[in-house]
Structure 1
Amino acid sequence: MTAIDPRQLSIHDFTYALPPERIAPEPLPDRAASRLLVSRHGQLADKHFRDLPGELPPGALLIFNDTRVVRARLLVRRPTGGQVELFCLEPVAPHRSLELALQQTGHCTWRCLVGNGRRWKAGPVTLEFTTSEGQTATLTAERQAQEAGTAFIHFRWAPAGLPFAEVLRAAGHLPLPPYIDRPDTATDALRYQTVYAAAEGAVAAPTAGLHFTPELLAELAERGFATGHVTLHVGAGTFQPVKADHMAEHPMHTEPIIVTAALLRQLLAHGPRPLVAVGTTSLRTLETLYWLGVGLLVPRPNAAEHPTTELLVTQWQPYEQAEAAAQIDAAQALTTLLRHLEAAGTDTLEARTQLLIAPGYRFRVINGLITNFHQPESTLLLLVAALLGPGWRAAYDHALAYGYRFLSYGDSSLLLP
């Protein structure tokens, strides 16, 4: 067990006063013009994001999350004309796999958040839209059941040959964070995506990556910095407030990750040189890889009683297995995971992570982090506190005192503990 048990932490110890006017409502015209607070061994320096190549550790490998935000908010109409908002969270049937669910044609069922749902008593709600090819189409939604504040919504649409991904692209809206209280715009359609976004499935952007431009990526390559990509489809749980006084009572959300065998080999070949995660989602994915490897080497207690083929890192696994993992380094864990894929005859790892990183966590894979400034009393702020230690407060006090912009469309930081 670590010296600090994160389950005993009070979330109220990880707060600060964030004036509403410091929350950036819009992106800057130039992605790379955002400011960059560099925290290197506790020393703070004010830079701009375009200065990043000169601030990174020599020989660093940068890992990006290439998820792409889907237009997951659907504004449908009741028969009486009133509007209902359906926020698609995760597929339920006929596929639970996100990739397959987005390619499903004709009908599907998703777990959704429902806005203005009290006025939706019964029966279907509908939405007419125009496809990318100019066809008139109709989407019908029916509520099947409710569970834990969400609803199972069955969708049908015509023409039935459209994949659900096209339905969302044509009929949906970008799910901007709840603290950006305005409709999404054409600017958001471009700027609430990273320039390297590829794999559709997120309902929130991996915002650390929003600052990168093609020119900046080219400069990184010219300076000899290697890059790699993982996929974590960011869920709405990233905005889930911590309502419990102590973290032991907070259920961490679960998100799907996809990593290739080639990426595992790249991490192993990079060896002990610095590895910098671009965003908290990339960081959680990389640290999850370590614990997946540990889980294959050291089965968790009671694993035999609950056999499963699913690869999953649970919320408290790192803290429960800390002693068992003490002699397992990152190379051994990643090699074990790679051999597992090879034995299964696949070059793609699909897993889920519920990993909660908080003070008391020992980082096994990453050496640094590029990230925006996060909400008070959030799990993302806990992650930053785990990386910087008590110095997180000095960094946030500095950012507040020197005019940095906060949250998704705000400024960035490079954290090198």
Structure 2
Amino acid sequence: MKTSDFNFHLPEHLIAQNPIDDRDASRLLHVNGTRFTDRTFSDLPRLLKTGDLLILNNTEVMPARLHGVKTSGGKVEILIERVIDEFSFSAQVKFSGKLRADSELIISNTIRMKIIDRVNGFFLIRSDEPIHEVMETQGQIPLPPYIKRNPTSKDTQRYQTVFASERGAVAAPTAGLHFTETVFSELRQQGVDIGFLTLHVGAGTFMPLREEQILEKKLHQEFFSVSRSLCNQIKQAHLKSGRIIAVGTTVTRALESLMMSGGLRDYKGFTNIFITPGFEFKIVDAMITNFHLPGSSLMMLVSAFLNKETILKSYNHAIKKGYHFYSYGDVMYIEGK
């Protein structure tokens, strides 16, 4: 398996640079087997059935991008990947020159941080002030690298789902960005149950796949948790012959990791699951997901869920129809494996 097997050509003007005015006005490509239907996201409640269970990721994006300098004066950009304790965190760091263990970084002239170690491309860093307080006063919303502009106050709201409640992510679970209270209300009226889990999306989601990840079929680690109440909702959906519909690849990875690690139960832990074609899905019946980068692990995941040929055809359809791609782009509803 090669990343090039999952490539496609995307015209640059189709990479969404800004959110549209109304979340649920996004375009929705309904993929049912090999049939493609162009819809609007607000149509979703009419596509689901009484007894279905829709599961979303309630992680909240942290203002995880910090700017500072080395003691030598060279600029650094820090993208926090995971908070370890009150003062310590792992991060990606952009810098010029060298950065070693014991190097010091300075944020906003007064906040000092020390490099402790470097492992698998991530720096372990300790701050002399509580890191959540530093992010609140100095941090920016970490827009993905394919959005070629600086974040604005609008992104603070729009690069966040309306149901975000568990702080810890450095990237939004983008399939959830399209949901509004109106859509939730219509889903409930339709008899669709709604549940939540947490998976804190890490900075590794923006890193290119490494050869060893493909060989070992393991990605970067991300924390996730599943509650007992969600497990009960899943059991009830199965009793009603309802489908388990994952909103996003993060929910898909969390649910399938749960089933691989011992089955349906309340759980807190880490996953590095890498879902590729040939994977046997144990719990997810349908999926709502944005359009993903060529050659990425997420392209491999959706190809595993349906099949590579149909996914690539659906992407070509979306490109011809002028859909917008990636975080602030449009969305797919995939059913019929």
2:278 is the alignment partner of 1:367: no
Distance in 2 (CA, whole Å) between partners of 1:79 and 1:383 is 43
Moved more, 277-286 or 238-247: 238-247
| Corresponding residue to 1:126 among 106, 122, 137 | 106
2:148 is the alignment partner of 1:181: yes
2:306 is matched with 388
1:228 is matched with 195
Distance in 2 (CA, whole Å) between partners of 1:185 and 1:20 is 22
Q: CA deviation at 1:260?
A: 0.9
Q: CA deviation at 1:290?
A: 1.0
| Corresponding residue to 1:25 among 2, 17, 27 | 17
> Mapping of 1:340-355 within 5 angstroms?
348-355=266-273
> Mapping of 1:374-413 within 5 angstroms?
374-389=292-307, 390-413=309-332
> Mapping of 1:92-107 within 5 angstroms?
96=84, 101=85, 104=86
2:127 is matched with 155
1:145 is matched with 117
Identity %: 39
Kindly indicate whether the alpha-carbon contact (under 8 Å) linking 2:49 and 2:191 is maintained by their aligned counterparts in 1: no
2:333 is matched with 414
Moved more, 19-28 or 239-248: 239-248
1:257 is matched with 224
Kindly indicate whether the alpha-carbon contact (under 8 Å) linking 2:50 and 2:190 is maintained by their aligned counterparts in 1: no
2:254 is the alignment partner of 1:275: no
2:104 is the alignment partner of 1:112: no
Q: CA deviation at 1:126?
A: 2.2
Q: CA deviation at 1:278?
A: 0.5
Distance in 2 (CA, whole Å) between partners of 1:254 and 1:126 is 28
- Could you give the per-residue CA deviations for residues 362-416 of structure 1, whole angstroms, max 9, x where no partner exists? 1110110000000010110011111111211111110011000001110001000
User: Secondary structure of 2:220's partner?
Assistant: coil
Larger radius of gyration: 1
> Mapping of 1:211-250 within 5 angstroms?
211-244=178-211, 247-248=214-215
Which stretches in structure 2 are left out of the alignment for 5+ residues? none
Which stretches in structure 1 are left out of the alignment for 5+ residues? 1-8, 130-137, 158-162, 294-332, 339-347
Q: CA deviation at 1:151?
A: 2.1
Kindly indicate whether the alpha-carbon contact (under 8 Å) linking 1:10 and 1:246 is maintained by their aligned counterparts in 2: no
Q: TM-score, normalised to structure 1's length?
A: 0.75
> Mapping of 1:303-382 within 5 angstroms?
333-334=263-264, 338=265, 348-382=266-300
Q: CA deviation at 1:145?
A: 2.8
Counterpart residue type for residue 152 of structure 1: L
Q: TM-score, normalised to structure 2's length?
A: 0.92
Q: CA deviation at 1:85?
A: 1.0
Distance in 2 (CA, whole Å) between partners of 1:57 and 1:43 is 19
Kindly indicate whether the alpha-carbon contact (under 8 Å) linking 1:10 and 1:245 is maintained by their aligned counterparts in 2: no
Distance in 2 (CA, whole Å) between partners of 1:145 and 1:367 is 42
- Could you give the per-residue CA deviations for residues 157-213 of structure 1, whole angstroms, max 9, x where no partner exists? 2xxxxx532321221111111111221111110000000000000011000000111
Moved more, 242-251 or 273-282: 242-251
Over 3 Å counting, the alpha-carbon distance change for 1:164 and 1:144 in structure 2 is closer
Kindly indicate whether the alpha-carbon contact (under 8 Å) linking 1:11 and 1:245 is maintained by their aligned counterparts in 2: no
Pairs aligned (count): 332
- Could you give the per-residue CA deviations for residues 135-171 of structure 1, whole angstroms, max 9, x where no partner exists? xxx42112233333332222112xxxxx532321221
Counterpart residue type for residue 181 of structure 1: K
